Structure 1
Amino acid sequence: MNSLHAGQFFGVTNTNIQIGGLTLTDTEYTHPYVDWHYHENAYFTFILSGNVIEGNQKEIYHCSAGSLLFHHWQEPHYNIKPKGYTRGFHVELRPDWFEAHGLKSNSLQGSINMQDPHLIKMMYNIFKEVKLDYRLGGLAIESLLTQLLDTAAEPNQSSFKQKPIWALRLKDLLHDSPCATWTLQSLSDELAIHPVHLSRNFSKHFQCNLGDYIRMLKVQAALRMFQHKDSTLTEIALTCGFADQSHFIRSFKALHHITPLTFKKLLKKI
């Protein structure tokens, strides 16, 4: 089985940046199939464009733009790339990086498909800092990455087993239809719970209020559409459930601190 060293991925790596114990790469995937292999460092894969299927010893993940995966080192997996342009952003972490930042290197184990929009938002912001100017953004990158790892390792993030059935059902509803126009009453009716119970207890299980969570999902749905060159901001805003372009821009800036147009340009940078 192949073992890949830091910065090695199957494809054309256009960017390779070293920040302390981190290796950051921006890679176009070119191999239709990559046999079982593992990496010497723990790392995140963030799909920026296209699609890829990844299998490990327990699960198979169908990943599209916006998907975030984590692999512990020496975790074997394989990849299948459907036809079309596919691009990924990777953040590799050496063991000494964990130690230097007071993090346990075994806090996350195995291969994980991270679906929490809080974690995806952090990774989008890490990517933004890299593309703006990694030499000035090194502190921000390490701070965001530390926060991402700490949040992902929390017990209520690592498993949904302790969540009530209505919270599991609600997660599926919101993630399956992120651009739908939900109301508190319509969600309550779907879940067969009282609106007051839903609004009062939502933050206990999702770490923010209901409105902020839905806005994160809508913005991330919009970010996935950035790969389609012909889509205007107005078209993206309306497709993703925003009232208008202005509402979309305000929501986007609140999460990523730059305009959607600026972020769209950063996604084009290799």
Structure 2
Amino acid sequence: MKQLQTGQFFGQTNRHIQLDGLTITDTEYTHEKVDWHYHEKPYFTFILQGKVLEGNKNEIHECAAGSLLFHNWDDAHYNIKPPGFTRGFHIEIDQNWLHRFDISLDNLKGNIAVETPDAKMLFYKLFTESKIENNFTNTVINSLLINSLENIKNRNEQNYSSIPNWAKTLKEILHENIADDLSLLQLSGILNIHPVHLSRYFPKYFGCTLGEYNRKLKVEKSLALLIDKDKSMAEIAYETNFSDQSHYIRCFKEQMGQTPLQYRKLLF
């Protein structure tokens, strides 16, 4: 089985940045199929454009734009790329970087699909920061990556069996129905729990209010749509169910610290 060295991915790497303990690459995937392999260091894959299927010994991930995967260094996997352009953003982490910031990855085994909108939006910010490359890039990227790892570790350490079934079902409903603004009463009816109970305990399992979580999901979905140059801001606002373009831009800037147009310019 092949071991890939630091900075090595199957495809055409268009950007390669070496920071102090981090290797960042922006790669176009060109292989229709990549056989079983693993990487020298733990790393993240963030799909910016297109689709790729990734399988390991336990599961298969169908990754579209906006998908985020964490791989520990010993995670063996394979890839299948459907027809079309696919682009991935990767951050490989050196052990010295982990030691410097006193971070352990011992509880993050194998391959993890990261679904929380907060972690994904942090990676969009990591990507944009890597494109800016100024005197503060190293500091900002370190901070964002630490926050990302802590977010993922906290979610991973949460005892899944202690999460009530209604919260697990609610997460599936919200992620599958981003374009539908289901009300508190509608959700409580679907889940067969009292709306006061849902509202009171939602932050315990999701880290924010129901309204805030919905806005994060819609902004996150819009980030994957911005890669299409032919889509206008009004069309993206409509597809993500914002009330209008102004509301979309305002929520986007609140979450991302820049306008959708500013982010789009950094993509290319």
Letter in 2 for 1:240: T
Tell me the distance in 2 between the aligned counterparts of 1:158 and 1:197: 21
Deviations 1:180-213 (A, max 9, x none): 1211111111111111111110000011111111
**CA positional deviation for 1:227:** 2.3
- CA distance in 2 between counterparts of 1:158 and 1:211 reads 23
1:149 counterpart SS class: helix
Change (3 A) 1:134 1:165: farther
Q: Whole-Å Cα distance in 2 between the matches of residues 51 and 249 of structure 1?
A: 26
Which residue of 2 is the match for residue 184 of structure 1? 184
Answering whether residue 197 of structure 2 is matched by residue 197 of structure 1, we say: yes
Contact 1:25 1:90 in 2 (8 A): yes
Aligned to 1:245: 245
Name the residue aligned to 2:5.
5
**1:151 and 1:157 in contact (8 A); partners too:** no
Equivalent in the alignment of 2:261: 261
112-121 or 62-71: which moved more?
112-121
Q: Would the aligned equivalents of 2:39 and 2:74 in 1 still touch at CA under 8 Å? A: yes
Q: Following superposition, which runs of at least 4 residues in structure 1 exceed 6 angstroms of deviation?
A: none
Residue 130 to residue 158, structure 1, CA distance change in 2 (3 Å) = farther
Residue 179 of structure 1 contacts residue 221 of structure 1 at CA under 8 Å; is this kept in 2?
A: no
2:82 is aligned with 1:86:
no
What do you get for the CA RMSD once the two structures are aligned? 1.2
Is the 1:35–1:78 contact (alpha carbons within 8 Å) kept by the matching residues of 2? Answer: yes
Q: How many residues align?
A: 268
Structure 1 unaligned blocks of 5 or more: none
CA drift of 1:239 comes to 1.1
Aligned partners of 2:108 and 2:156 also within 8 Å: no
Question: Residue by residue, what CA displacement relative to the aligned partner does 1:128-183 show, whole Å, maximum 9, x if unpaired?
Answer: 11112254221111011111111211256656332101000100000011121211
**1:102 match: secondary structure:** coil
Give the Cα–Cα distance (whole angstroms) in 2 for the partners of residues 40 and 156 of structure 1: 23
Mapping for residues 1-270 of structure 1, pairs under 5 Å: 1-133=1-133, 135-154=135-154, 160-268=160-268
Q: Specify the code of the residue in structure 2 equivalent to 1:7.
A: G
Judge conservation of contact 1:38–1:74 (CA < 8 Å) in 2: yes
Tell me if the contact between 1:156 and 1:205 (Cα under 8 Å) persists in the aligned partners: no
Counterpart of 2:152 in 1: which secondary structure? helix
Question: Aligned equivalents of 1:255 and 1:144: distance in 2?
Answer: 14
Structure 2 unpaired stretches of 5+: none
| Greater shift in the superposed pair: 103-112 or 204-213 | 103-112
Identity among equivalent positions (%) equals: 48
Shift of residue 74, structure 1, vs aligned partner: 2.0
Distance 2:101 2:67 in 1: 26
Native 8 Å contact 1:44 1:68 kept in 2: yes
Secondary structure at the aligned position of 2:37 is classed as strand
SS in 2 for 1:153: helix
Residues 24 and 89 of structure 1 are in contact (CA less than 8 Å); yes or no, is this contact kept in structure 2? Answer: yes
For residues 133 and 191 of structure 2, the distance between their equivalents in structure 1, rounded to whole angstroms, comes to 45
TM-score by length of 1: 0.96
